[in-house]
Amino acid sequence: MTLALFFFYVFSIIAVASALMVIASRNPVHSVLFLILVFVNAAGLFMLAGAEFLALILIVVYVGAVAVLFLFVTMMLDVDFASLRQGMLQYAPVGVVVGVILLLELLLVGGSFVMAPQVSGASAVPIDHAVDNTRALGQVIYTRYVFLFQGAGAVLLVAMVGAIVLTLQHKANVKRQNIAHQTQRTRAEATELVKVKSGQGV
């Protein structure tokens, strides 16, 4: 057994096991943590397959951003997952049937899929196996596809402007901290000496 094969089995066994735990664990926060474990192991599998760019993007985007966001949402929303999970056993057979059909279909497609021979030759950027794919991507993304890259940037800018303009509220009478004002406060305007007669209170 080669080292690569060994790691393949390690990564895939942990990935499948933690995927199971995502749906099986009682605590939703644990579910999200297991989801992160799935992502990390999937990234390892990508790395073994030679797709190192995809692997690192998976870590950066999914683990770093999406999963953490998930974690926040599950912690803040306080959804009653126990009641959501009621009747899971009842629906399990249907789920299993759907899953098996899906698996069979995937196997059928995967088994019979052939690329048309002329396609890979005709594509705009043929795959060069000599360079690794981060380098290959770097060679085209800022040169050949700079236009699309900038276009995608403009789309994201619009999305950001849109998200802000549709949700940002400007409240009129919100009290904000003014540090200069705070530090300039003198004792005279902040405190007041009141003479209180004993037994009467303020």
Partner 1 sequence: MTSDLTSFAALAPAYPELLLAVGAVVLLLAGVLFSRERSTGLALISIVLLIAVIAVALWQPAEGTLFNGGFIVDGFARYMKLLVLGGSAVTLILSTSAAKPFGLDKFEYSILVLLATLGMMVMVSANDLMSLYVSLELQSLALYVVAALKRDDSRATEAGLKYFVLGALASGLLLYGASLVYGFTGLTQLDQIVGAIAGEHRSIGLIFGMVFLLAGIAFKISAVPFHMWTPDVYEGAPTPVTAFFSTAPKVAAMALIIRVVTVSFGPITHDWQQIVVFLSIASMVLAAFAAIGQNNLKRLLAYSSIGHVGFALVGLSAGTAVGVEGVAIYLAIYITMNIGFFAVLLSLRTADGAYVETIPQLAGLAQKRPFVAAIMAVVMFSFIGLPPLAGFFAKWQVFLAAIDAHLFALAIIGVLASAVSAFYYLRIVKVMYFDEATTEFEAAPAELTAVMAVTGFLLVTYFVTVGAPLYNAAHAAAGSLF
CB 67 within 8 A of CB 94: no
Q: How far is the CB of 137 from partner 1 (least distance, A)?
A: 12
CB 71 within 8 A of CB 51: no
User: Which of residues 50 and 151 has its CB atom nearest to partner 1 in the complex?
Assistant: 151
Provide the phi-psi class of 172: left if phi over 0, else alpha when psi is between -120 and 50, else beta: alpha
User: Which of residues 27 and 120 has its CB atom nearest to partner 1 in the complex?
Assistant: 120
Distances (CA, A) of 73 to 52, 68, 178: 30, 9, 32
| Residue ranges binding partner 1 (CB under 8 A) | 116, 118-124, 139-140, 142-148, 151-152, 154-155, 157-159, 161-162, 164-166, 170
User: Which of residues 100 and 140 has its CB atom nearest to partner 1 in the complex?
Assistant: 140
Q: How far is the CB of 187 from partner 1 (least distance, A)?
A: 37
Q: Is 131 helix (H, G, I), strand (E, B) or coil?
A: coil
Q: How far is the CB of 174 from partner 1 (least distance, A)?
A: 15
